[in-house]
Amino acid sequence: MKVLGIETSCDETGVAVYDTRDGLLAHALYSQISLHAEYGGVVPELASRDHVRKLLPLIRQTLDEAGMAVSDIDGVAYTAGPGLVGALLVGAGVARSLAWALDKPAIAVHHMEGHLLAPLLEDDPLGRPEPPFVALLVSGGHTQLIAVDAIGSYRLLGETLDDAAGEAFDKTAKLMGLPYPGGPQLAALAGQGTAGAYRFPRPMTNRPGLDFSFSGLKTQVMLAWRDSDQSGQARADIARAFEEAVVDTLAIKCERALEAADCETLVVAGGVGANVRLREKLQAMAVRRGGRVSFPRPAFCTDNGAMIAFAGALRLQAGQHGDAAVQVWPRWDMATLPAL
């Protein structure tokens, strides 16, 4: 089954073709970073309009790269939530129209399930991680720990009570004067910082539970930056201390989640999953415990069509699909998804 995947939940237009027999055939991504940079963040209406302009050309490009005609598609998968409602509607409208015209099934995909399953796209030398496992979903909009009992069967173990980790990276970068999007630039700057020059608390690690909170850490950074000489070195030192605090917090909570779930397999997905320090920390933790951790390639940590095509292919292959109605859910609880 060849499935076309469409991702338009926020500020990236992603398209891919996944074949349940041959794997990922082609994928393409268009980022709107330059469009939103002058505003310091995503402008929803501009995002929606840019998806309208870019989606159909990107579909044609991806099908060409896969060596396929549009009539070769066996099904269509699209992100239906969570996300920006206008952006979601662009992808949903195109996907449902295409499926109707081809008389093929279409499936609404949960954006975070796509992220959760992205590591399973990779050729892991240890083999594809099989449930049960614990998933850390860590991005600009979400920081969650999920117990995956089976594909489609998810239990929330813990989540952020305020800012997501990626959001905290972006806001911290902005308050120190780094341009949008600041999170990746802050992570790069942290590599130039001096270890131990600053130390920030590891939020909510001194109490039981698996929830996160990063707003207080962000305030600590603001105060440290205000009281520093605001030189380039101070910015790098504070960036390093901030990154270390976030990474340590995520690692501590992941280890607790593995213990709570009586599991030794961790899957990490989402934009912050590309962070080098986080990958090293979690890999070391997994080795120490005699377990394993799986990551998607950095290109599949951010929003992309490949994860949507893959997640949709699994559900279409299981016989699941929706009717012709164009529906999206800007807020959508992953626990409500049907099991495969």
Mean pLDDT for back-to-back runs of 10 residues, the chain (340 residues) = 98 97 97 92 96 98 98 98 97 98 97 94 79 93 94 95 93 92 92 96 94 94 96 97 97 97 95 95 96 93 96 96 92 91
Which residues in 43-81 are b (16+ Cβ under 10 Å) and which e? beebbbbbbbebbeebbeebbeebebeeeebbbbbbbbb
270 assigned to a ligand binding site? no
Residue 158, token pair as written in the block: 């813990």
CA dist 199 → 67, 84, 217, 224, 243 (Å):
53, 36, 11, 10, 10
pTM: 0.94
139 assigned to a ligand binding site? yes
What integer pLDDT is reported at residue 140 of this predicted model?
82
What integer pLDDT is reported at residue 181 of this predicted model?
86
Phi-psi region of 196 (alpha: psi -120 to 50; beta: other; left: phi over 0): left
Q: How far apart are CA 29 and CA 271, in angstroms?
A: 14
- By DSSP bridging, strand 153-159 and strand 23-31 are unpaired
186 assigned to a ligand binding site? no
137 assigned to a ligand binding site? yes
Q: How far apart are CA 304 and CA 270, in angstroms?
A: 10
Residue 93, token pair as written in the block: 């409208």
27 assigned to a ligand binding site? no
170 assigned to a ligand binding site? yes
111 assigned to a ligand binding site? yes
CB 29 within 8 A of CB 305: yes
183 assigned to a ligand binding site? yes
Name the DSSP letter for residue 205.
-
9 assigned to a ligand binding site? no
CB atoms < 10 A from the CB of 235, how many?
Answer: 22
Residue 214 exposed, middle or buried by CB count within 10 Å (0-12, 13-18, 19+): buried
* Domains of the chain listed by start with CATH number: 2-117+300-336 (3.30.420.40), 128-295 (3.30.420.40)
Beta-strand runs (E) in the chain: 2-7, 12-19, 23-31, 75-81, 106-110, 133-138, 143-150, 153-159, 265-269, 292-294
What integer pLDDT is reported at residue 125 of this predicted model?
66
- Tell me how long the chain is: 340
